[in-house]
Amino acid sequence: MTAVYDCIVVGGGPSGATAANDLAQAGHKVLLLDRAGRIKPCGGAIPPRLIRDFAIPDDLLVGRVSSARMIAPSDAMVDMAVDRGVAGGFVGMVDRDSFDEWLRERAATAGADRSTGRFDRIERDADGGAVVVYTAIADGTEHRVTTRCVIGADGARSQVARATFPDAERMPCVFAYHEIIRSPQPTSATFDRSRCDVFYQAAISPDFYGWVFPHGDTTSVGVGSAIKGFGLRAAVSRLRQRENLHDCATIRSEGAPIPLRPLRRWDNGRDVLVTGDAAGVVAPASGEGIYYAMVAGREAASAVGAFLQTGKPRALRQARRRFMRAHGQVFWILGIMQYFWYSNDRRRERFVAMCEDRDVQNMLWPAYMNKRLVYAHPIAYLRIFFKDMRHLLQTAGAGR
């Protein structure tokens, strides 16, 4: 049976929409299959590197953040200017509702077909080719579409991944919940529309963090935790009460798991490839996902393009290989940081205190903004090493 599409992309978030756009721009026949109305809980921060690399227009930015505040368990606060080490730097803020739809529309403009439906399964035709079966949201009818390749970009609990990889079920996740609220008036004395606040407190999250991220006229207030049974909604309520945001109108709320470790394999060695949250590409410790999702989507499109051109399934392997070559070291470092520093409030207190250090900030912000490790002057690294050891020893001593 002749394939109807070169590739069907399941999931229209930043990763899937980016993959569909790149493939369509390269002249491939693409179907972008997405469920309507599904928005991931997300602070909405995007670094300048993303804005540049993926040509994001200014009108999609609903806010520009120039500082961040970290709040320790003791309520000690560390304020950090975003432009430390990056002259004129800022973090762009987007609303995932409008941002994701813009990405999907860009893919459609590039030539991708769009369909709104729920992915059901992948079957095989008489020739062994992939047949994507999905149910249309509008009328509940079942559709069967043949394709040369499938990209699964359908989130942390990806049906494509779970049907393809036995270890996908065991992907570790943080469960996140946030509420999009109406921002206080710009004249508010306690709320800063240009500052992101991050809370490292057990009452807000026993093993991750809570956040208040402004989006201009709206704000994301959320928490994450990997502990099953922890009351995420109650924690957000406590956070809103604490920050005098309890009277702000709630516009919408979302909850979803957020993966914290990339899958060991992203392709089935035949014609299926996963990307984005489905592949586990969310940064540990920070939970940042938009940039990494879009980079993974671009790598997925490149790998599928090579597969379509050569017919060799091993071309699909390059998506994970290239992504991990570029970002694996950062993920490893952040994973260690989360495992150690987030384990209890005593360590979180030390972690926030450490972030007050000038040398740490001079490496942190350029690395975040440009998405690469910053190789500062060796003396700065030496200073950071000894300061970090001092914090570790003080933490260990306090635990005895």
Q: What is the dotted CATH code of the domain comprising 7-42+96-170+260-332?
A: 3.50.50.60
Distance from C-alpha of 159 to C-alpha of 263, rounded to nearest angstrom: 14
What are the φ/ψ torsions at residue 97 (nearest 5 degrees)? Answer: -60, -55
Greater model confidence, 189 or 211: 211
Q: In angstroms, rounded to a whole number, what is the distance separating the alpha carbons of residues 287 and 210?
A: 11
Q: Which residue shows structure tokens 């994450």? A: 224
Length reported for the chain: 400
pLDDT tens digits for 112-127?
A: 999 999 999 999 999 9
Backbone angles phi, psi at 371, to 5 degrees: 60, 45
Residue type, 209: Y
Q: How confident is the model at residue 57 (pLDDT cuts 50, 70, 90)?
A: very high
Position 351 confidence tier, pLDDT thresholds 50, 70, 90: confident
Tell me what the pLDDT averaged over the chain comes to: 88
Q: Give the three-class secondary structure for 230.
A: coil
Determine the 3-state secondary structure of 31 from DSSP.
Answer: strand
Predicted confidence at residue 321, as pLDDT, reads 97
Q: Is the pLDDT of residue 382 over 50?
A: no
pLDDT, mean of residues 126-138? 94
